[in-house]
Structure 1
Amino acid sequence: MSASISPVARFIRLSVLTLWLAFWIGQDYARADWRPVTGEPWPALEAPISHSERTLESSTGRTVRAHLALFDSRRYRLAVLDLGPDLASASDWPEHTRAAGLLAAVNGGFFHADGQPLGLVIAGGERLNRFETVKLLSGVLYGDARGIHLERRARFQSSPGIDALVQSGPYLVEQGRAVRGLSTHDVSRRTFIATDWRRHWVLGATRDGLTLAELAEALATPGALAPWPVERALNLDGGTSTGFLFDPGAGQEPIHLRARRPVRNLVGVRAR
């Protein structure tokens, strides 16, 4: 028969285990540090809409390149462009975005193999699918006449004035801090939207793979993926769906990061 463990010994063992876990968690967060390595200055904060390409390096040696469309929500409205369930015909982004008057766009929400969207989508005021409460869809991005909004699913309140909306997730940054508990394993290209929760927003897509936890840390790092402090950020459908388009106008060719597969919808901006 084994000897029983005294309460004091049990307390000491639990304390040692707690310190050990805290140490390794701290090590994980230390490895998530990011620094920008591109020398180009950020576009002026007063610029209504602009493109920037950034390169970041982590303290573990990972390099990530990202395309960013920075814009002012006082000048531009959120738009969701539904490309329809026939995914085979939804691959020519420049044609679709120009026809819809979008100046910048990224791939939008998640979708099933048959092309049906996962979660609620509102495109051009038309409601597609239904509001869902699966764990993945922790955030709601939407636009109305008042502006652009990014909320936790539990705080979202539907209204008839919403003309653009996607459910997506997970939440990456909240109140200026990287969300805890995000995946540290799956390395994929990523698509995201972030804001300082004043008037500055960024639509972004990475050309290289990183984990969700790494993306959250990069977004929460001052000056890494935005010239202003990110207050909140949401992950959009990434992986092979990751794509980006920015139309500089004046007869110039669009800056286009092609998705590796067709997507169901795009999230973009158009002039007010």
Structure 2
Amino acid sequence: MRLCALLLALLASGSSHAEWRVVSGAAWPPVDAPLSHRKRTLESTTGRTIRAHLALFDSRRYQLEVLDLGADLASSSIWPQQAQAAGLLAAVNGGFFHADGQPLGLMIAAGQQVHRFETVKLLSGVLYSDTRGIHLERRNTFRLRAGITALLQAGPYLVERQQPVRGLSTNDVSRRTFVVTDWRRHWVLGVTRDGLTLAELAEVLTTPEALAPWPVERALNLDGGTSSGFWFAGVVGQEPIQVRSRRPVRNLVGVRPR
């Protein structure tokens, strides 16, 4: 009996989830607002504190872009300037890449395909843009077709049908980069300045109004850790908002007006 009770207690503790609350952050913009920036600080019942920078936008007014910085990673350390020169209004670091600078998985930038579609477990999602809008799909449902102008394979999937994806890592604590949507034209590109596990990130994203003003229907992890970076152009006359990557990156995910 004691052994059964102990096993039940361990299972219960292993399946418990932290609760998150917002410590600071400006009110969310109106649902029909233009591209907006928000900074949020959250705390969990387990003592974790995270700060996040978010770029919120409507896919009817803004289109997704993948900016290829090239395989010469040494030159990508100035990517905020490159994002600005490319006409992007906001950007985060994009997908994973090999040591030689080649993308991990398929990348399409400016309509040009780079590398190949891969089926490794990590790359569980596909983020892409075409004439119909912006899309986030599971790898096994995606079909490559003409008309896609921007695409990245990344992963893992964090949220699906407003629920955290099961089996996400509870061990690796790192800064995170992510993209989320309510699947009703509203999107967020985000970066955390503090470390958390993938399971914790999924918990935060499904906490009402923690990192998005609407219920998150789908969310995808991008390359995080020391690659995590954020850039927001802001309004004329003000300095851009930046979170610099601690290492070079291969590509960016950004937005520009339609």
* TM-score category (smaller protein): over 0.9
Mapping of residues 134-213 of structure 1, within 5 Å? 134-213=120-199
Alignment of 1:20 with 2:18, yes or no, is: no
Contact 2:25–2:41 (Cα < 8 Å) also in 1: no
Instruction: State the AA in 1 paired with 2:248.
Output: P
Contact 2:25–2:38 (Cα < 8 Å) also in 1: no
Alignment of 1:121 with 2:104, yes or no, is: no
**Aligned residue for 2:83?**
97
Q: Which moved more, 1:26-35 or 1:186-195?
A: 26-35
Q: How many residues align?
A: 258
Distance 1:26 1:177, change over 3 A: farther
Mapping of residues 44-83 of structure 1, within 5 Å? 44-83=30-69
**Aligned residue for 1:9?**
none
Cα deviations across residues 191-222 of structure 1 (Å, max 9, x unaligned)? Answer: 00000000110000000000000000000111
User: What's the CA shift for 1:27?
Assistant: 2.9
Alignment of 1:43 with 2:36, yes or no, is: no
Alignment of 1:266 with 2:252, yes or no, is: yes
**Aligned residue for 1:5?**
none
Q: Structure 1: which 4+ aligned runs deviate by more than 4 Å?
A: none
Distance 1:24 1:178, change over 3 A: farther
Alignment of 1:30 with 2:16, yes or no, is: yes
Long gaps (5+) in structure 1: 1-11
Q: Normalised by the size of structure 2, how large is the TM-score?
A: 0.96
User: What's the CA shift for 1:105?
Assistant: 0.4
User: What's the CA shift for 1:261?
Assistant: 0.5
Cα deviations across residues 16-54 of structure 1 (Å, max 9, x unaligned)? Answer: 49x935x54543453421111115211222212100000
Q: Residue 24 of structure 2: SS of its match in structure 1? A: coil
RMSD: 1.7
Distance 1:233 1:25, change over 3 A: farther
Cα deviations across residues 57-104 of structure 1 (Å, max 9, x unaligned)? Answer: 011010000000000000000100000000000111232111211101
User: Between the two proteins, what is the percent identity of the paired residues?
Assistant: 71
Q: Residue 143 of structure 2: SS of its match in structure 1? A: coil
Contact 1:94–1:245 (Cα < 8 Å) also in 2: yes
Contact 2:55–2:188 (Cα < 8 Å) also in 1: yes
Long gaps (5+) in structure 2: none
Q: Normalised by the size of structure 1, how large is the TM-score?
A: 0.91
User: What's the CA shift for 1:158?
Assistant: 1.1
Alignment of 1:256 with 2:255, yes or no, is: no
